[in-house]
Structures are given as C-alpha cells and as structure tokens.
Amino acid sequence: MNILSLDTSSSWGSVALARDSVICYISYLDIRVTHSERLMLQIDQCLVQSGLTVGDIDLIVVSNGPGSFTGLRIGLATVKGICLAKKIPVYPVNSLYALAYNCYGGDKDIVPFIDAKMNEVYCAVYGKDMREKVAPLNAKPEEFIDSIEHPAIIIGDGVNKYENLISKRADILTKGLAHQNFIIASSLIGLVFNEKIVADFDIDTISDLEPYYLRRSQAELKNNSHKIHKFK
C-alpha cells in the first residue's frame, strides 16, 4: 500500500510517503515560504525520490485542523484536487490527535498544546491508549493547565511559549522532547497502520472535506458559558 501524507496546519510543513507499507520518505520544513509556494514542490520531490507517481498512491492522509486557517485551506484544497483527479481515497486526521501520536506508547496521558494566538491554545487530552479524555477545544492556557489533575506529557509549540505556566505544574506535567512538539507527516502514516484504517474513494466525502476551525466553533459557543471540566 502506498500512502502519501501531509500536514499544513502551521507555518511549517511536512510530507511523508510509505511505499509498499514502509515509510520511505519524510520531509519537514520550517522556512519563511508559504505553503502555496512550496507544498506542490514538496509533494513532487517526495514522489520523485520515492520512485512513484501520483497514480501509484492508494491513500492520502492529511491533518485537517485546528491550526493555521490559511495553511489548512491550502493543504486541503491541494489534497481535494489530487484525490478527485486521480480517484484516490482521503483520510483526514484532527491535528491535535496527530500531534498526540508523537507520544503513542508511553505511560502517561498526552496533552497536545498548540499556540492559537490571541492568548489562546488549541488543546485536548488523550490517554496513553489514545482514547479521547478531553475533546479538542480552544482555551486560555492558564485555565486549561490549571484544570489538569493527572500526570501527563505536554507537547506542542505552545509549550515553549507558555513554559512559565507549565513549570508551575511540574508535579504532574512533563514537557515532551523537541522533536515531539511538531506534527510530522510520518506520524499520520503510523496512525493509519496502527489503527488499520481503510478508506474508499468517495466523491462526496472528498468534496465535503473542510478545515476543522476549532476557534470558530468555540466562538459560537462563547455566550453559552462554556467551562473547562476537570480531567477524569
């Protein structure tokens, strides 16, 4: 099975490919070039270096947010175009879930913690078995961190930005390693293999694929007195 995966949910970008069910290519770029300028080049180089063409791809996996509004739109538009043109199935993955997969197999809860700007973070809590304990939400970092009750590893680009808040909860929060703080496209492929994901080509599914704009949804609920609950 040949799988192409990509992430454009932040200012950096990542592309990976599995050929015959073995990951053979990974790229990660954090440079001052927009996704619209580099994404197709990354994909093209990925295919060339792997000795494949777009027609050889059996599945495309993509992170669909939350994250950069512009980056997500570019990534999903690219995936939709390729999948519809070549009749390739697509499998979208929540960005927070994808990030948490960097720590799969550990002995603690996993807290993806992404900087959402405007003094907010995108966050969630997953158990060591990747079971969702707290659904994805955007929140004030101090409120979210204060609500954590059980030992967890916290990862994401929000960790360095809010290190002072996290250090106050050092009794239960362990910061992940540097390479665990970013979504790498190969993690999406590992997720597909681990969860035995099977997707069929479906025009409606691809056409309806939209970014998961978590902040917009939360804004609509703001007047409903949304609260962060203690983790169970």
The string of DSSP letters for 140-179 reads -HHHHHHT--S-EEEESTHHHHTHHHHHTTTTTEEEPPGG
216: helix, strand or coil: helix
Q: What are phi and psi of 142, to 5 degrees?
A: -65, -35
Integer Cα distance of 110 and 97 in angstroms: 10
* Peptide bond before residue 92 is cis, with ω within 30 degrees of 0: no
- Domain boundaries in the chain? 3-95+182-222, 104-178
Specify the pTM: 0.89
Q: Which overall architecture, per CATH, does domain 104-178 show?
A: 2-Layer Sandwich (3.30)
Dist CA 147 CA 142 (whole Å): 9
pLDDT at position 219: 44
Question: Fold identical between 3-95+182-222 and 104-178?
Answer: yes
CATH topology of domain 3-95+182-222: Nucleotidyltransferase; domain 5 (3.30.420)
Q: What is the pLDDT along the chain (232 residues), one digit of tens a residue?
A: 999 999 999 888 899 999 999 999 999 887 566 666 779 999 999 999 999 999 999 999 999 999 998 899 999 999 999 999 999 999 999 999 999 999 999 999 999 999 999 999 999 999 999 999 999 999 999 999 999 999 999 999 999 999 999 999 999 999 999 999 999 999 999 999 999 999 999 999 999 999 998 875 444 445 444 455 454 4
Residue 218 is predicted with a pLDDT of 44
Structure tokens at 84: 């519809």
